[in-house]
Structure 1
């Protein structure tokens, strides 16, 4: 009697980890395509609505307005950039399509270190590539193409390469929790994604206003260390502040009397430890609001009231 050949279906052999990754690849993969602009540069994009809303990185589209999205099923869709926000390295596109496969944005605030992280994109032009790892760290800060810090960035060891930019970072449920944005050249397993909650904010701003609104002081700032006696006298509980320069004469701060070399210690009582914390305070909700600046000027503590305006687009 001949020995019987044993055939076990692959699904039985797959462990829970492999099965989880393969299921995400099957369900989410069709919604992640390749974004091209002038036919040369390329990145990835994630479809968010059946009628063609797509999120990608701002550095993928650059200054281009016309784009194309190639989906894994072979469809190539023309589209345009609805709005780009270099400060978060995100851009929202609208491509011509209907009944498109879509991805679901999850809640990135519920992530935990060690969770499975699955990246889908087009590294080096290789379409629909899947890599997997874990969420390595949360709450990172990463410098954006505009020079401003992107807050609440996700760090992962899921392999990313040029072309993954704008692709999806998902968890085992298949929800997208981040948009891949950067890797560190020469490092292994240190890659970053913009959190999905940031994507939701940018998406809402672009759809409602055509871009992301932010409040504006009309200054540039650098971090400066504070002597303990100064910090104690100012009651800011911080050993650093923001030294202000490049004051725009007709900007909010300039009109209020802010001078070159002033050190900003607090805004409405909240310590300003440097440019990053200052920028985080200048969201859309602060536009039109009067705020009180606590300033150190030539050894004296003074307070100035400033009415914040919307940051002009030309200011970058």
Structure 2
């Protein structure tokens, strides 16, 4: 073996050893969550007594079991959930469990090496290595809602990885991993996670705006767009109106085409979602609607989105 090959081997061995050390250290703050029959997810001991995990794997509010690194299983209580961002916060009794070493997600660059770590079945630790493929892209959660910031790592999230951390090469947790349809790996950055944890610990829930509409995107004929002097030819057509919902009370009808909310053009359902943040709850919003070839305006008082089992907006 040449000196060059020998040196390269030593470099790879040192690199491999460093990765293994990172996984071992970070795993001390990772737990297994059993909040759903037959499947489990991972969770991160974010703050003393506070576990952060993904929401969709918590199908019940009681009898949530958390398995600690040393194998002990304890009960956890649900402190709150944010379905739109797929995050849940659990509380556990005082324990010697390490808290996560939180890093700064804003220092990440495309191409940086990262690790996804999980505590899977039989309380074993698993890891997946990849790079940051993109930063800051908006993305759609399993609930169908757009999130304005994300970290997109190029790695595989195996079963049980959801709710586990993304860790940088300093061994610091930079976010919580989740998946979107087609099992694409995405990471919610620490800045967003911390904000959600604070809100859930304070109030138990995060209120989002709700109209009570089922919608599909459509394109208006060019002639209609021009005759109504609309800036865009896009909109969403109303396919259902929930009884006694804010939209129903305001007079919205099936077949109406929503083209504008509060002066902002609507071209897709995600545009509607973006207008229904917590600050909109219980406040009036002006809706421009195309009905029967005419443009009308309605005032809708935004309601609170149901916390479970919602289907409409």
Are 1:177 and 2:174 counterparts? yes
Find the aligned partners of 2:172 and 2:180 in 1 and give their Cα distance: 22
Are 1:80 and 2:74 counterparts? no
Deviations 1:59-107 (A, max 9, x none): 2221242222222234433212222333222211111123431125555
List aligned pairs for 1:152-231, cutoff 5 A: 152-182=149-179, 190-231=184-225
Change (3 A) 1:83 1:233: farther
List aligned pairs for 1:119-134, cutoff 5 A: 119-125=116-122, 127-134=124-131
* 1:284 alignment counterpart: 278
Structure 1 length normalisation: TM-score?
0.82
Moved over 6 A (4+): none
Aligned residue for 1:254, secondary structure, equals: helix
Change (3 A) 1:156 1:39: same
Find the aligned partners of 1:205 and 1:312 in 2 and give their Cα distance: 17
* 2:293 alignment counterpart: 299
Equivalent pair of 2:257/2:290 in contact (CA under 8 Å): yes
* 2:35 alignment counterpart: 37
Find the aligned partners of 1:102 and 1:267 in 2 and give their Cα distance: 43
Equivalent pair of 1:125/1:163 in contact (CA under 8 Å): no
Equivalent pair of 2:69/2:123 in contact (CA under 8 Å): no
Are 1:263 and 2:232 counterparts? no
Find the aligned partners of 1:69 and 1:136 in 2 and give their Cα distance: 32
Equivalent pair of 1:123/1:160 in contact (CA under 8 Å): no
RMSD between aligned alpha carbons?
2.9
Equivalent pair of 2:46/2:52 in contact (CA under 8 Å): yes
Aligned residue for 1:276, secondary structure, equals: helix
Q: 1:38, CA displacement in angstroms?
A: 6.4
Gaps of 5+ in 1: 1-7
Structure 2 length normalisation: TM-score?
0.83
Change (3 A) 1:16 1:66: same
Find the aligned partners of 1:304 and 1:171 in 2 and give their Cα distance: 49
Equivalent pair of 2:79/2:204 in contact (CA under 8 Å): yes
Are 1:60 and 2:57 counterparts? yes
Q: 1:37, CA displacement in angstroms?
A: 3.4
Find the aligned partners of 2:228 and 2:309 in 1 and give their Cα distance: 31
* 2:3 alignment counterpart: none
Find the aligned partners of 1:143 and 1:280 in 2 and give their Cα distance: 13
Are 1:89 and 2:86 counterparts? yes
Q: 1:192, CA displacement in angstroms?
A: 2.6
Deviations 1:138-188 (A, max 9, x none): 3242341x4445553433222221011111112234333332222766x8x
Q: 1:137, CA displacement in angstroms?
A: 2.6
Q: 1:17, CA displacement in angstroms?
A: 5.4
Q: 1:286, CA displacement in angstroms?
A: 0.9
Find the aligned partners of 2:198 and 2:224 in 1 and give their Cα distance: 42
Q: 1:306, CA displacement in angstroms?
A: 1.8
Q: 1:220, CA displacement in angstroms?
A: 1.6
Gaps of 5+ in 2: 1-5
Aligned residue for 2:84, secondary structure, equals: coil
